[in-house]
Structure 1
């Protein structure tokens, strides 16, 4: 099966995402989208958390444009990489759970 056409969008405030982190995001999303056509795009936003609450923390928001509903995850961690990987773990879990629910609609009463 061919690789799905997925649009990736990155936003970073005061911190640039490295090419290695972008490649990691794309690799994990393509793996998640393999054999499915329900993911059409991904948005990744990185912000430094408020200094008064957490002086050295980053907030990462990942939104997957997924049919029929979009899925989002927000994580805060001391490094961009930790927050990003944690958000991707959450996204993967949510997408798989959503697909399982769609497959098993017959179980609903």
Structure 2
């Protein structure tokens, strides 16, 4: 079974999202999608959070367009890389959990 083409979409207000980080995202999502056909696209958004209580923080939101339900994770961290990798970890875990539940549907009967 071949991995289908996955559409990647990126949004960053101040160009904090480097090509190296984009490559890391694509590599991890491709690995997650290997031998599966349930992921159709990914959206990544990074914003700098500027408030008095969070002067230097970034918010990363990763959405995986996944069948039967889309998966979303939002994380805030002091650096773009930390926020993005933490959000990636979270969506990967959620996708694996959904797949496990679908495989074990017979247990619910």
Partner of 2:28: 28
Check whether the contact 2:3–2:36 (CA below 8 A) recurs between aligned residues. Answer: no
How many Å separate the matches in 1 of 2:36 and 2:2?
A: 10
Give distance in 2, aligned partners of 1:61 and 1:50. Answer: 16
1:93 CA displacement: 0.4
More strand by share: 2
Structure 2: any 5+ residue segments left out of the alignment? none
Please give the residue correspondences for 1:55-94 in structure 2 after superposition, counting only pairs within 5 Å.
55-94=55-94
Give the drift of 1:24.
0.1
- Which runs of structure 1 show a deviation greater than 3 angstroms over 4 or more consecutive aligned residues? none
Consecutive unaligned residues of structure 1, counting only runs of 5 or more, are: none
- Alpha carbons 1:4, 1:30 under 8 Å: kept: no
Cα RMSD after superposing both structures = 1.0
Q: Secondary structure at the match of 1:49?
A: strand
In 2, distance between residues paired with 1:46 and 1:80? 7
2:99 match: 99
Q: TM-score, normalised by structure 1?
A: 0.95
